[in-house]
Each structure stands twice: as C-alpha cells, then as structure tokens.
C-alpha cells in the first residue's frame, strides 16, 4: 500500500479495527465541519489547524480521545455527561464499542473554530 501524503490518513492507517473505523469516523465528522483546516500531526495526534490548532484526536487501546481544550470541555460538559461519555479537563473519551455522537462532536468543533479566531 502506498503511503498517504495526508498525515491524518497515515496516522489512522497504523491502527487495526475497531480503532481504525472509529478514527476514520471522527476524522470524517471533523472534516465536514473544518473543510478548510490544515491537517497535520501535533503532539503525536491528528490535528486540525487554521492559524492556530483547533482540535485534536487520538486512538488508544479502548477509546478515541477528542482534545478540544479545557474551555470547550467546560462549555459542553453537561452535553458530554448527558451523552454518557467521560471527560477530563481538556478531553473526551469515546469507547470503541459506543456510537460516536456526531452532532455533539460537530458542535464542539464549530465552537472551537469560532473561539480560535
């Protein structure tokens, strides 16, 4: 298989299922909201950037982590909890066996974009 010139696609390709499928899904969700963002790897995580880093995600053994930053987590804490997901000060964990909350992820990404201007 040829190596991808897209660093996020190359990152995702290093994972097996079910991680790969969830990473592809979160990449697709974020790409819809941030179509003009630069796609790069920062802090060893897929990152969407427009002037500044907007949002990151990463694959782990049992979950995908979404890293929108502490202010975004504070803003969406109630919705994250109501959706049944764990979060820390700056991250949300989406277990591989759960369905990704696409609308919530899109809302978080839009908020992050609006607050990086």
CATH number at 34 reads 3.90.1150.200
| DSSP state string for 49-114 | EESEEEEEEEE-SSEEEEE--HHHHHHHHHHHHHTT-EE-SS-EEEETTSPP-HHHHHHHHHHHHH
HSE, CB side, 13 Å, CA atoms: give it for residue 2. 3
**Each residue's pLDDT tens digit, 53-78:** 999 999 999 999 999 999 999 999 99
Report yes or no on 2 lying in a domain.
no
Report yes or no on 35 lying in a domain.
yes
**Each residue's pLDDT tens digit, 1-24:** 445 799 999 999 999 999 999 999
Report yes or no on 31 lying in a domain.
yes
Report yes or no on 30 lying in a domain.
yes
Report yes or no on 24 lying in a domain.
yes
Domain count of the fold of the chain:
1
Q: Which residue range forms the structural domain that includes residue 77?
A: 7-114
């Amino acid at each position: 298989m040829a190596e991808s010139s897209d660093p996020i696609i190359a990152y995702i390709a290093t994972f097996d299922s079910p991680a790969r499928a969830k990473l592809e899904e979160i990449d697709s969700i974020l790409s819809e909201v941030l179509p003009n963002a630069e796609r790069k790897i920062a802090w060893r995580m897929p990152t969407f950037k427009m002037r500044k880093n907007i949002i990151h995600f990463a694959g782990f053994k049992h979950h995908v982590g979404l890293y929108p930053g502490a202010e975004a987590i504070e803003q969406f804490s109630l919705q994250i909890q109501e959706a049944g997901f764990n979060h820390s000060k700056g991250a949300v964990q989406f277990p591989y066996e759960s369905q990704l909350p696409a609308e919530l992820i899109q809302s978080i990404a839009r908020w992050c974009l609006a607050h990086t201007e």
